[in-house]
Amino acid sequence: MDEKLSFFKDGFRLDGRRPDELRPIKIEVGVLARADGSCYMEMGDNKVIAAVYGPREVHPRHLQEVSRAIVRYRYNMASFSVEDRKRPGPDRRSYEVSKVSREALEPVILTSYFPKSVVDIFVEVLQADAGTRTAGINAASVALADAGIPMKCLISSCAAGKVDGEIVLDPMKFEDNFGEADVPIAMTPGGDFTLLQMDGRLAPEELKRALELAKTGCQQIYEVQRTALVDRYSSIEEQESCDEAEVEIYE
């Protein structure tokens, strides 16, 4: 007979978090020299990299839109990103994740500024531990800003889940696999949702609680995204003023 799985120990989750706590986040901006914008992000044991190219000419040409840029998003999981090797190449799940992730970001990109062009977003998952679509969206949002793509605002994304009857923030793989529900969202800093998905079963009150919790998670992620961008660009400004000073000294 199956033993009942345990998700909590002394009120804490198996990775030591409180129910309303995010996993540790790390963001590095501008990590790829050949992309127009890029970002490396860790959310707990998830490791993802996002690269943005554009706005640039659309190929194939028949995809061109006369009045706006199109946005393409490719989410890919590396074969070595999961425990058992993942079969390389696109599959149903990666098409779905790519589609919802693009739709999570497109509403804030000012596509009408760049008619007949394309903004390409690539997200590579190097290590997966549940929540890779949300990590990918967060990294892509920062990479878009790094590429200088005009946007109304950043997008932040995270999930809430239900384990052992309790609503928890940012489920890790064990909680996602064996829990009762998973609700990933993405939103603007103003609280407008651009992604809302749900796996599993929740009562209306539980869904409300999950959305509230996920919203607090997105607010915290937004602060980290914003700080990473500010740090990146203030350090570039500092570097530039140092370079100027050196020029003055040695000229």
What residues line the site for ligand ADP (CB under 6 A)? 82, 84, 86, 93, 128-133, 173, 176, 182
Yes or no: say if 158 and 134 are a contact pair by the CB < 8 Å rule: yes
Quote the least distance from Cβ 193 to ligand ADP, whole Å: 16
Q: Is the distance from CB of 74 to CB of 105 less than 8 angstroms?
A: no
Q: CA 48: distance to chain centroid?
A: 8
Give the nearest distance from C-beta 91 to ligand ADP in angstroms. 7
| 158 three-state secondary structure | strand
Find out whether 156 and 222 touch, Cβ atoms under 8 Å. Answer: yes
Least spacing, CB of residue 24 vs ligand ADP, in Å: 17
Shortest distance, CB of residue 93 to ligand ADP, whole angstroms? Answer: 6
* Closest CB 38 distance from ligand ADP, rounded Å: 20
Q: How many CB atoms lie within 10 A of CB 103?
A: 14
Q: Are 20 and 219 in contact (CB under 8 A)?
A: no
Distance CA 157, CA 142 (A): 12
C-beta of 39 vs 130, nearer to ligand ADP: 130
Cβ distance to ligand ADP smaller for residue 56 or 93 = 93
Dmax (CA) for the chain in angstroms is 81
Q: Which is nearer to ligand ADP, 30 or 161 (CB)?
A: 161
Nearer to ligand ADP, 55 or 131 (CB): 131
CA–CA dist 143, 29 (Å, integer): 7
CB nearer to ligand ADP: pick between 21 and 65: 21
What's the min distance (Å) between Cβ of 176 and ligand ADP?
Answer: 5
Nearer to ligand ADP, 58 or 218 (CB): 218
Contact present, 101 and 143 (Cβ < 8 Å)? no
Minimal CA–CA distance to 50: which of 38, 35, 62, 42? 38
